[in-house]
Structure 1
Amino acid sequence: MEYSPLIQAVKEGNIELVQQRLEGGDDVNVKVEGGWTPLHNAVKEGNKDIVQFLLEKGADPHIKKDNGATPFIVAGIVGNVELLKLFLSKGADINEYDNHGFTAFMEAAWYGHVEALEFLYENGAQVNLGRQTSEEQKKLRKGGNTALMDAAEQGHVNAVKILLKEMQADVNACDNRGRNALVHSLLNPKNKKVKQIIHLLLEYRADVNVRGEKGKTPLILAVEKEDVELVQMMLEHDGIDINDTDSDGNTALLTAVQKDQIDIVQLLCKNGATVDCEELIKTAQRNYNQNMVKLLRDYGARENCPAPSKVYEPKSQRWQSCLRNLYRIYRPMIGKLKIFIQEEYKIAETSEGGVYLGFYDGKEAAVKRFLEESQRAQQEINCIHHCQENNNLVTFYGRESQKGCLYLCFALCEKTLEEHLTDQGEAALKNENFQNILTSLFKAVQELHRCNYTHQDLHPGNILIDSKGEICLADFDKSEKLDEGRQKIKDDLKALGRLVLYVVQMGKNPFSKIESQSDTEVIEACINEEIKDLVQNLLRPGEECQNQLSEMLSHPFFWNCKMRYRFLRDVGNESDIKVGNSHSKILQELNSSTAFKNWRGKIDEDVMKKMNSFYKKSKKYYRNTVGDLLKFIRNMGEHVEEEKNKDMKSRIGEPSQYFQKLFPDLVIYVYKELRKMGYRKHFPSVNSS
């Protein structure tokens, strides 16, 4: 249908005519081209009265356009908080998405609606959710964009600021093409606020060496914008590789010469860009820019001259001495590989041949050596091939063969997790807590399982720390495809359960000892209820074990203090809990425990007295139940920042830390009770954060 009188009346905002059309028999859910319904149009127009009227007359609040957008998502596009609130009350899923993967939160970010962003965040929108797409689109590496990327690309400074500062958006989350928000901010030629956006992203330590289309780095993309100030901003960021190339071998300097941007060329040369490229002078001469030619020559550029020899400085701190020796000596190349099979260059033993230092295509590498017909080598190759998009696996560079030997070349890492904890002990966890270690590990194994592979050899020696301190999973020569009964997944999960205990004990007990213990012994060795619950779920997974890690990555073990506090407040905000509905199943389950029966006595006496004073008229004072404790936490969160309550704030300090210290087991208790009932709406997601 191309035209509907009812929809036309909605567009005109004529509620009397809308009523007449409906009384005359018009379909309240009629669709025109694109799947637009009266309700979608009323939301687009921001007409709350007509929206409510249509809903009263039977309009479907969950109806979708042809692109899958619901009225709730359209409300996110227009940034109407009242309508967002209304559709949530009608059962809209805060993270529902259309056929292109857009949620209401992403739409609000795309259009820069800050108030809508804040409302959706406060109601549980997943900040770091990546755009969900079809399998076909994923194969084309489409999707994966986050709200931060959208706001950055569209130049919405305030939205970017709030996403980073208030919502802890992951500045280095990448889409399915590996691009972060920094790259996205440089994609849109109409983005007039690009400098302000980039300043914010760099302030929050956005990765400046990530790559966009054709392997272009943010620096190269900035040069292409022909903006000196923008290039200067990039160069001032620590860690930038000024000489990095795109997939065509072009550096930022060569790109600037090609663009005939002499000011940018001078800036890059001044900051140490290498001029060892004969194309520089040639390109400048083709542009008839003799000033550019002179500038390049002043910095040492020459035509048709061999590149001067460089002093090699290893990137690896641990292996730098051996790498310098290997770099210096002559070795016949095996394809792109330079290697010397000698004991001083061996970095690890394997059951079949060992791991050696090497250079693959000029990059420092760890090289696993196998017999060419090795079954284990084939298993590793198959696993790497099918799981190459897994960012939490050690990077695979390539393979070479010679004289019956097969060499698999990987990015060189600094140490194993076992060495990391053994060398530094508790000091290792002061700068990177064990939640981060386990998050990376869980994600690595989760991605393996999604690719229909299992690792089958999870232990601290196969978990590596790279030069940036990132966790990488390695050694796939025992990996296997998923079996029909999912037993091999369960084997990985059981190993992960033991690794959790190993990590939280900071490696004090050898992993071999933990491996030899029974499941019950491992569970009993856990130091608190959260870790015990996490480990128990890994050691005793249910039938849906392939999705177990997704759930475990959202376990309270991985929540920070603010997430825990938000969770307790959200549960305390349940209407049945606020009014103390004794017939509520949730309240009955939560109040069944006596573990927190004396909670009022733990609260600061003056604070307790003041909070009770608000119920002086009704005399419905706080009782020693879990439900009332959650209500107390919710009410405290709503009012503690008010000027009249500054005395309470001065007594308790930061509320999230105050309640965590007083009731360390409350979060896991509430989480387990809600999980038991299948009531998960308040569970925050850490998987994408």
Structure 2
Amino acid sequence: METESPNNPQEGLAPSSGERAAVEDNRLLIEAVQKRNIQLVQNLLERGADVNFQEVDGGWTPLHNAVQLGSEDMVELLLQHGADPCRRKKNGATPFLVAGIVGNVKLLDLFLSKGSEVNECDLNGFTAFMEAAVYGKVDALKFLHENGAEVNLGRKTKEDQKKLRKGGATALMDAAEHGHVDALKVLLDEMGAAVNARDNMGRNALIYALMSSREENVEAIARLLLDHGADVNVRGERGKTPLILAVEKKHLGLVQMLLEQEHIDVNDTDSEGNTALLVAVQGRQEKIARLLCNKGAHVDCGNLVIIARRNYDISLVEFLLRNGAREDFHPPAEDWNPQNSRWGEALKHLHRIYRPMIGKLKIFIDEEYKIADTSEGGIYLGFYEGQEAAVKRFCEGSILAQKEVSCLQNSRENCNLVTFYGTESQGDCLYVCLALCERTLEEHLAMNCRGAAENAEDEFSRSALLSIFKAVAELHLVGYAHQDLHPQNILIDSKNAVRLADFDKSVKYAGHLQEIERDLEALGRLVLYVVKKGDIPFETLKVQSNEEVIRLYPDEEIQDLIRHLFSPGKNLQTPLCEMLGHPFFWSWESRYRTLQGLGNESDIKVRKATSEILKKLNQGPHEPSRSFDQWTSKIDQRVMRKMNKFYEKSRNFYQDSVGDLLKFIRNLGAHINEKTNKDMKLKIGDPAQYFQKTFPDLMIYVYTKLQDTEYTKHFPQTHDLPKL
């Protein structure tokens, strides 16, 4: 930032008389244009007034002012003297946009010839076409349409406004909001305007018409929009439907018109659970309330009788009672608490407000209750038979819905899938109701697992992948392949249990096992994604080759598991059942007990060189190096000396063989908790952790060598394998 200098003789001096005259001429030029004094404008321009001078407040130029007045001669004069035809005001409006507001076709044509773009817009996203619709300028609308204006263009806004769901309105919405029937007819009948286009809040032109305070044309506009197929169940701000807005307007004719529509939902509510009937009773609109009840409005939507009695609407009280309303209506308890923590506040709100039931389902299709987007109708919070639910919304007859429901119905015994409650239908929608979970696997890893200790036992990865493997294994056994195994389709419930979800791409295979192979390959990538705690994006893993995926993780045990998934052998239908017995799924304590059991084999204890088990465990000359090579030098030496003391008489000390290491593990386990070995206990700590960290590849080595032998009797019992 520059600072003032007391030594500069020019600083602080008042403008010269010439400068003051120029500024005054610029101001006079604007005034002369506004007063349509073309001769004075000519004189001022010839005297040197700035033709592109802009006012401080709004940035208006002489040209903007001339266009606003529709003074074509003045516009021509200014352009001849160098006026910029594309200069913008502070709000971004060009002279072309102002011409759209005033509806001057000649000026619109002129500015197009001077370089204006037919769909150019100001900073609020208004085009000339939209401005013409706002002000009902039909001739301008027709001209702009003929010259390429986009009829269904939605208003573009700044990014911060877009985040607030501002913008997106079309010219049709503008004409409807401002009550221009003729403009609306032209837009619908001649230009093919989309009657159900939505703005960024989801509102259509019908909502705009009913939100407007203009009353004179609202009925004609609503009729026109409805005749062209406007959606009568669309929502405005605070979830208000056209019917609720019409009741709020206390407009009997509008209410009658809307109730005549074939697909009207008379019991729909706004975001506070108010129905049209409740609004009518609150507003003392007895005629409208009677109309609504005759159309099937439910009377269990609030304290209708109490409200009507409080308003002294005695005839309405009697009418409501005759139609089944109760004096002792009790709303849901305010102190109800949800089980789900993530969606708790939204569930409380949904529980409290009135919603008409869809069979056993209470749901509100509103952004407040949306869990996720899908390719069809989204996933919303709901209550199914009073249970908190995630509800997938499909079009009735959807192939995706058929796949989802078929797979879920045939897999009800699969406890590792998200629980399936049931389905409900209404109109053209099918609702698939599932147990509500807290978050996706992707979200869980991002929240909880980043920066996990490298050498700690990864219990989450083991338990999560075990659940996923079981879920997919049982799917395969009942004849289904998932086909969309992905971190976002694996959910974590409120008890941190892992559940497989999203079966709308599942297939029932009949002898063609490519689908099974695709599931197994996706599982291989999921293994790496989970053990890496999501650090490698799943989308990145999807485009890697199988060998590249295997090489991304140096751990031999995990490589072995992934390799088996990528090359499962001939029996594709049941490989996951077998893989559930892989050491990856064993806890460190189970591994330790397994190694102890093997070390207790008599042939190992006496080092019988000809025994089958020692032959299998011996390392070949060409095998890669292992963490347990020269293992006696890697054990704490004080512990090693103490354990060798047991063999001082026989001089049969521990040797660097796998068999002796197993014997050592067995013997140490037998002696470490003795009082005389407290010092050894201090050095070793938990033996299960000590041996896993010291020899991380020992278990997979032993497993690989002995998996097809009788010694598998020492391996842990497989985790609740599905029955074949």
Which amino acid in the other structure matches residue 537 of structure 1?
H
CA shift for structure 1 position 308: 7.2
Match of 2:659 in 1: 627
| 8 Å CA contact 2:332, 2:352 repeated in 1 | no
What is the alpha-carbon distance in structure 1 between the residues aligned to residue 408 and residue 439 of structure 2?
21
The residue matched to 1:357 in structure 2 has which SS? strand
| 8 Å CA contact 2:332, 2:351 repeated in 1 | no
Deviations 1:631-673 (A, max 9, x none): 1112222233334444433432332222222212111111111
The residue matched to 1:664 in structure 2 has which SS? coil
What is the alpha-carbon distance in structure 2 between the residues aligned to residue 614 and residue 678 of structure 1?
30
Match of 1:403 in 2: 427
CA shift for structure 1 position 617: 3.2
Match of 2:436 in 1: 412
Deviations 1:543-572 (A, max 9, x none): 223332223222222222221111111111
Match of 1:457 in 2: 484
Match of 1:363 in 2: 387
Match of 1:345 in 2: 369
Match of 1:436 in 2: 463
Match of 1:53 in 2: none
Match of 1:324 in 2: 348
What is the alpha-carbon distance in structure 2 between the residues aligned to residue 454 and residue 536 of structure 1?
20
Match of 1:501 in 2: 528
What is the alpha-carbon distance in structure 1 between the residues aligned to residue 496 and residue 413 of structure 2?
20
Q: Which moved more, 1:645-654 or 1:579-588?
A: 645-654
| 8 Å CA contact 1:456, 1:488 repeated in 2 | yes
Match of 1:564 in 2: 591
| 8 Å CA contact 1:572, 1:631 repeated in 2 | yes
What is the alpha-carbon distance in structure 2 between the residues aligned to residue 673 and residue 432 of structure 1?
25
CA shift for structure 1 position 499: 0.5
* Alignment match of 1:373 (pick from 392, 397, 404): 397
Does residue 423 of structure 2 align to residue 391 of structure 1? no
Match of 1:555 in 2: 582
What is the alpha-carbon distance in structure 2 between the residues aligned to residue 325 and residue 651 of structure 1?
57
| 8 Å CA contact 1:558, 1:686 repeated in 2 | no
Q: Which runs of 4+ in 1 moved over 6 A?
A: 304-308, 427-432
Structure 1: unaligned runs, 5 residues or longer: 1-303
Deviations 1:500-550 (A, max 9, x none): 111111111211111111110111112412211111111221222333222
Rate the CA distance shift 1:399–1:432 in 2: closer, same or farther, 3 A.
same
Rate the CA distance shift 1:410–1:427 in 2: closer, same or farther, 3 A.
farther
CA shift for structure 1 position 686: 4.8
Which amino acid in the other structure matches residue 604 of structure 2?
I
| 8 Å CA contact 1:348, 1:354 repeated in 2 | yes
Deviations 1:359-401 (A, max 9, x none): 2222222111112211221111111111101111111111111
Task: Give the count of matched residue pairs.
Answer: 386
Match of 1:281 in 2: none
The residue matched to 2:647 in structure 1 has which SS? coil
Which amino acid in the other structure matches residue 342 of structure 1?
D
Q: Which moved more, 1:634-643 or 1:345-354?
A: 634-643
Rate the CA distance shift 1:338–1:309 in 2: closer, same or farther, 3 A.
closer
Q: Which has the higher contact order (CA 8 A, sep 6+)?
A: 1
Deviations 1:321-376 (A, max 9, x none): 33333334433322122222233332212222211222222222211111221122
Structure 2: unaligned runs, 5 residues or longer: 1-326
Which amino acid in the other structure matches residue 412 of structure 1?
L
Does residue 668 of structure 2 align to residue 636 of structure 1? yes
What is the alpha-carbon distance in structure 1 between the residues aligned to residue 508 and residue 676 of structure 2?
62
Which amino acid in the other structure matches residue 475 of structure 1?
D
Which amino acid in the other structure matches residue 559 of structure 2?
K
Match of 2:543 in 1: 516
| 8 Å CA contact 1:568, 1:630 repeated in 2 | yes
Q: Once superposed, what is the RMSD of the aligned Cα atoms? A: 2.5
Rate the CA distance shift 1:655–1:341 in 2: closer, same or farther, 3 A.
closer
Match of 1:663 in 2: 695
Rate the CA distance shift 1:363–1:645 in 2: closer, same or farther, 3 A.
closer
What is the alpha-carbon distance in structure 2 between the residues aligned to residue 305 and residue 341 of structure 1?
29
Deviations 1:202-226 (A, max 9, x none): xxxxxxxxxxxxxxxxxxxxxxxxx
The residue matched to 1:681 in structure 2 has which SS? helix
| 8 Å CA contact 1:421, 1:428 repeated in 2 | no
Which amino acid in the other structure matches residue 518 of structure 1?
S
What is the alpha-carbon distance in structure 1 between the residues aligned to residue 423 and residue 370 of structure 2?
18
Does residue 640 of structure 2 align to residue 608 of structure 1? yes
Which amino acid in the other structure matches residue 407 of structure 1?
Y
Which amino acid in the other structure matches residue 674 of structure 1?
L
* Alignment match of 1:481 (pick from 489, 501, 508): 508
What is the alpha-carbon distance in structure 2 between the residues aligned to residue 490 and residue 309 of structure 1?
50
* Alignment match of 1:584 (pick from 607, 611, 615): 611
Which amino acid in the other structure matches residue 380 of structure 1?
E
Rate the CA distance shift 1:536–1:334 in 2: closer, same or farther, 3 A.
same
| 8 Å CA contact 2:484, 2:505 repeated in 1 | yes
What is the alpha-carbon distance in structure 2 between the residues aligned to residue 612 and residue 376 of structure 1?
67
Q: How do residues 8-87 of structure 1 correspond to structure 2 at under 5 angstroms?
A: none
Match of 2:683 in 1: 651
Which amino acid in the other structure matches residue 551 of structure 1?
E
CA shift for structure 1 position 676: 5.5
What is the alpha-carbon distance in structure 1 between the residues aligned to residue 671 and residue 345 of structure 2?
60
Deviations 1:402-442 (A, max 9, x none): 11221111111121111222234427899962212112212
What is the alpha-carbon distance in structure 2 between the residues aligned to residue 360 and residue 380 of structure 1?
18
Rate the CA distance shift 1:324–1:633 in 2: closer, same or farther, 3 A.
closer
Match of 2:339 in 1: 315
Larger Rg over CA atoms: 2
| 8 Å CA contact 1:398, 1:409 repeated in 2 | yes
The residue matched to 1:426 in structure 2 has which SS? coil
Which amino acid in the other structure matches residue 680 of structure 2?
M
Q: Which moved more, 1:640-649 or 1:404-413?
A: 640-649
The residue matched to 1:400 in structure 2 has which SS? strand
TM-score by length of 1: 0.53
Which amino acid in the other structure matches residue 660 of structure 1?
Q
Q: Which moved more, 1:579-588 or 1:308-317?
A: 308-317
Which amino acid in the other structure matches residue 672 of structure 1?
T
| 8 Å CA contact 1:559, 1:686 repeated in 2 | no
What is the alpha-carbon distance in structure 2 between the residues aligned to residue 674 and residue 552 of structure 1?
15
TM-score by length of 2: 0.50
Which amino acid in the other structure matches residue 583 of structure 1?
T
| 8 Å CA contact 1:582, 1:588 repeated in 2 | yes
The residue matched to 1:493 in structure 2 has which SS? helix
| 8 Å CA contact 1:417, 1:461 repeated in 2 | yes
Which amino acid in the other structure matches residue 565 of structure 2?
L
Which amino acid in the other structure matches residue 388 of structure 2?
E
What is the alpha-carbon distance in structure 1 between the residues aligned to residue 374 and residue 452 of structure 2?
27
Rate the CA distance shift 1:468–1:580 in 2: closer, same or farther, 3 A.
same
| 8 Å CA contact 2:417, 2:501 repeated in 1 | yes
CA shift for structure 1 position 687: 0.7
Which amino acid in the other structure matches residue 486 of structure 2?
H
The residue matched to 2:421 in structure 1 has which SS? strand
Rate the CA distance shift 1:592–1:518 in 2: closer, same or farther, 3 A.
same
Match of 1:17 in 2: none
CA shift for structure 1 position 485: 4.4
| 8 Å CA contact 1:553, 1:685 repeated in 2 | no
